[in-house]
Amino acid sequence: MRRTRARATRAARSALGLRTTGTVHTKRTARTVRTARGRLAVVAAAALAAAMGLPAMPAAAHDSHEPLLSAMRAEAGTAVGGDGIPGVIARVYKDGVSWTGTGATDAGTPVRNPDSPFRAGSITKTLTATAVLQLVAEGRVRLDDDVFGLLGPVLKTNPVAGCNTSTGQCFNPPPGSPPITVRNLLQHSSGIFNYLGDLGVLASAGSSFPNLPEYSAQQLVDEGASHGPQFAPGGGMHYSNTNYALLGMVIERVTGHSWADEVTRRIIQPLGLTHTVLPGSTPTLPTPHDQFFTNYLQRRGLFGHLSVPAADWNPSIGGAAGAVVSTSGDLITFIRALVGGQLLPPAQLTQMMTDLNPTGAGAPATQLPGVPCDPTRSWPECIVNPAISTVSSGDKATPGYWYASRPWKAVQADYGLGLTRRTVTCANGSTVVLYGHNGAGFGSMSYLYSTADGSHAIVLNMNGDWPLWELYSLNGMLAAEFCTA
C-alpha cells in the first residue's frame, strides 16, 4: 500500500508540474536552489496528499546530492595523483525532481553548463540497439538472423581480409558452423575485432587529429574484419565497435534508410530530443558548447596532462557505434523513456535488459570474500573497492579518495542487447541495479544510467578523457548517488 501511494504521489507531482531544480557550482563553493511551481499545482498536490492520508511535503524539499558533488570534486581535483579533469557535469532525475551539478578543477577553469552539448560516444550504441529491436518487434529482423545472410560477405571483401593470422580462422566457416547473428552483434559475442583496436586506425587518427579522415561504415568494418575471428560466435566477449558499424548497415539494408535517419525518426523526434544530433561527418559541435580536452594522443606528463583542445573533430570514426551528440537533459529523457517502455514492446525491452552475453574465456577478475564476482568470466567486468573490502589494496599509488570516500564495495557489469546492467554492491551490503551505457571519445567521457523503473537516473560528463582508472571513477560517482539516496 505504501508503494502504491508513493507511486501515485510521484505521478501526481509529475502531472501537476511539481519540479525542483538545484544547481551547484563547486568551483565557487556556492549553491543556488531554484524552485518553480504554480500556486494551483501546490494547492492541488496538497489536496491530493490530504485525501490519501499522506504527510505534506515541504515546499523546497529535495536531495542535496552532496555525496555525488563530493565525488565530482574529487574527479576534478588537483591533489597529487588526482585526475584533474577540467570539469564534470551531472544531471539527476529522482522521483519527479530534476537536479544539475557542476564541478571544476580550480578558480581558473570556466564553470561548465549542464545544458551544453557534448559527444556521448558509445551511448550511441543504445540508440542503435533500440532501433534494431524495434525492427525485431516489427518482424523485419530476427535476432537469430545470419549477418552474412542480411549483408552478404561483408566481413571478407577480399582474399586477404577476414582471417586471423595466429589461428588461421577466417570469416568463411564451413557448413554447419554457427553463424554470426544479429544477437551476437548486439551483445558483443560475435568475435569480430574492434576496429578502434587496430593500430593503423589509431595511427591515422593520431597523426591527423583533429582533422580525422572520413570513414564509411564499410571501411570501419574492413579494419575490424582484417584481424579475423577472435573466437566462434557466442563463444566469448569482445567489446567491439565493429559490431555496431555492422548493425548500422543492417538497419540501412532492411529499411532502405541510413541508420541515422531511422534513429532520428524512431527515437529522437518522437521523444522531442531537440538537442540530440547524429552529425555524420560534421566536425563542429553545436554552439554554444563547453571546452573539451584530449590526452589520448599524448603521454601523461609528470606534473599533469599534456592535453589539447578536442571539441571539434570528424565523428565518422564513431558512426552507429559512437557518433551521437546530445545533452544531459535529452539523455535523461531517452533512458527513462527506454526503460519505461515508451520505445520498445515488453518482449523486446525484456530481451534488451536480460539477454546477457554468455560466459566466455578471458582474464579472470579478482575474487574477494563477499563480493558477487565470477572470476571465470571475461564479462562481466568486476571492479572492487579495496579500501572497504576484506583484503588490502595492492595499488598503493592510487589516491585513497577513489576508494574510501565512495560508498561501494564492488560493481559487476553484464552486457545485454546494447545495454549494460551494472550491479553496485554498496558499503552496507545493499545492492543497486542500474541500466545504461558508458561513452567516450576524444575529449569527452559520458555515463548514462537508470534504475529499472526510470524513477532515478543520472547523466555524467567529463570534458577530459584521462582518468587513470576510469571504472573506479565511474563506479565511485554512481555509488555516491545511488548508495546514499
The predicted-structure confidence for 386-396, as pLDDT tens digits, reads as follows 777 654 455 55
Tell me the CA distances in angstroms from 52 to 12, 13, 46, 313, one per residue in order: 12, 14, 10, 55
* Least reliable range by pLDDT among 85-99, 375-389, 453-467: 375-389
Tens digits of residue pLDDT in 68-78: 888 888 777 65
CATH number, position 148: 3.40.710.10
pLDDT > 70 in the chain, percent: 72
Domain identity same for 407 and 429: yes
C-beta of residue 49 within 8 angstroms of C-beta of residue 61: no
CA–CA dist 212, 317 (Å, integer) = 8
Instruction: Tell me which of 244, 268, 292 is where a domain ends.
Output: 268
pLDDT of 101 strictly over 80: yes
Domain identity same for 261 and 294: no
pLDDT value of residue 361: 38
CA–CA dist 241, 219 (Å, integer) = 13
> Higher-confidence residue: 63 or 282?
282
> Higher-confidence residue: 461 or 373?
461
Tell me the CA distances in angstroms from 257 to 72, 248, 249, 332, one per residue in order: 41, 10, 10, 27
pLDDT of 435 strictly over 90: yes
Pairing of strands 456-462, 19-25: unpaired
SS (H, E, C) the chain: CHHHHHHHHHHHHHHHCCEEEEEEECCCCEEEEEEECCHHHHHHHHHHHHHHCCCCCCCCCCCCCHHHHHHHHHHCCCCCCCCCCCEEEEEEEECCEEEEEEEECCCCCCCCCCCCCEECHHHHHHHHHHHHHHHHHCCCCCCCCEHHHHHCCCCCCCCCCCECCCCCCECCCCCCCCCCEHHHHHCCCCCCCCHHHCHHHHHHHHHHCCCCCCCCHHHHHHHHHCCCCCCCCCCCCCCCHHHHHHHHHHHHHHHCCCHHHHHHHHHHCCCCCCCCECCCCCCCCCCCCCCCEECCCCCEECCEECCEECCCCCHHHCHHHHCCEECHHHHHHHHHHHHCCCCCCHHHHHHHHHCCCCCCCCCCCCCCCCCCCCCCCCCCEEEECHHHCCCCCCCCCCCCHHHHCCCEEEEEEEECCCCEEEEEEECCCCEEEEEEEEEEECCEEEEEEECCCCCEEEEEEECECCCCCHHHHHHHHHHHHHCCC
Closest CA to 247 of 351, 161, 322: 322
The CA-based dihedral angle spanning residues 7, 9, 11, 13, taken in that order and rounded to the nearest 10 degrees:
-150
Closest CA to 220 of 144, 145, 288, 314: 314
C-beta of residue 42 within 8 angstroms of C-beta of residue 456: no
- Find the angle CA(469)-CA(482)-CA(14) to the nearest 5 degrees: 130
Domain identity same for 133 and 57: no
pLDDT value of residue 352: 97
Pairing of strands 408-415, 420-426: antiparallel
- Find the angle CA(83)-CA(84)-CA(90) to the nearest 5 degrees: 90
Q: What number is the average pLDDT over the span 377-385? A: 71
Domain identity same for 159 and 88: no
pLDDT value of residue 386: 73
User: In b/e form, how buried is each residue of 285-308, taking b as 16+ CB within 10 angstroms?
Assistant: beeebbbbbbbbbeeeeeeebebe
Instruction: Tell me which of 245, 268, 291 is where a domain ends.
Output: 268
pLDDT band of 100, cuts 50, 70, 90: very high
> Higher-confidence residue: 114 or 84?
114
Q: What number is the average pLDDT over the span 296-312? A: 69
Domain identity same for 341 and 433: yes
pLDDT of 51 strictly over 80: no
pLDDT band of 235, cuts 50, 70, 90: confident
Q: Considering the entire predicted model, what is its pTM?
A: 0.83
pLDDT value of residue 140: 98
Q: What is the mean pLDDT of the chain?
A: 79
pLDDT value of residue 159: 55
C-beta of residue 105 within 8 angstroms of C-beta of residue 84: yes
Domain identity same for 328 and 427: yes
CA–CA dist 466, 83 (Å, integer) = 7
pLDDT value of residue 416: 94
pLDDT value of residue 299: 56
The domain total for the chain is 3
Instruction: Tell me which of 212, 241, 268 is where a domain ends.
Output: 268
CA–CA dist 200, 206 (Å, integer) = 10
Domain identity same for 243 and 186: yes
- Using N-to-C axis directions, what is the helix angle for 124-137 and 241-255, rounded to 10°? 40
Tell me the CA distances in angstroms from 320 to 123, 140, 152, 157, 244, one per residue in order: 10, 19, 19, 20, 6
Burial of 359 (0-12, 13-18, 19+ CB in 10 A): middle
pLDDT value of residue 193: 94
Domain identity same for 57 and 150: no
pLDDT value of residue 178: 86
C-beta of residue 261 within 8 angstroms of C-beta of residue 269: no
Q: What number is the average pLDDT over the span 175-202? A: 90
Tens digits of residue pLDDT in 2-35: 333 333 333 333 332 223 333 443 333 223 323 3
Tens digits of residue pLDDT in 139-185: 999 999 999 999 988 887 655 567 777 777 778 766 677 899 999 99
- Find the angle CA(291)-CA(111)-CA(32) to the nearest 5 degrees: 150
pLDDT value of residue 147: 94
Domain identity same for 91 and 107: no
Domain identity same for 129 and 263: yes
Domain identity same for 129 and 35: no
pLDDT value of residue 15: 31
Domain that holds residue 12: 2-101
pLDDT value of residue 400: 56
**CB within 8 A of 444, min separation 6: which ones?**
118, 119, 120, 121, 292, 310, 461, 462, 463, 465
> Higher-confidence residue: 274 or 374?
274
| Backbone angles phi and psi of 21, in degrees to 5 | -125, 140
Tens digits of residue pLDDT in 444-485: 999 999 999 999 999 999 999 888 778 888 888 999 999 975
Domain identity same for 13 and 41: yes
* Least reliable range by pLDDT among 274-288, 347-361, 440-454: 347-361
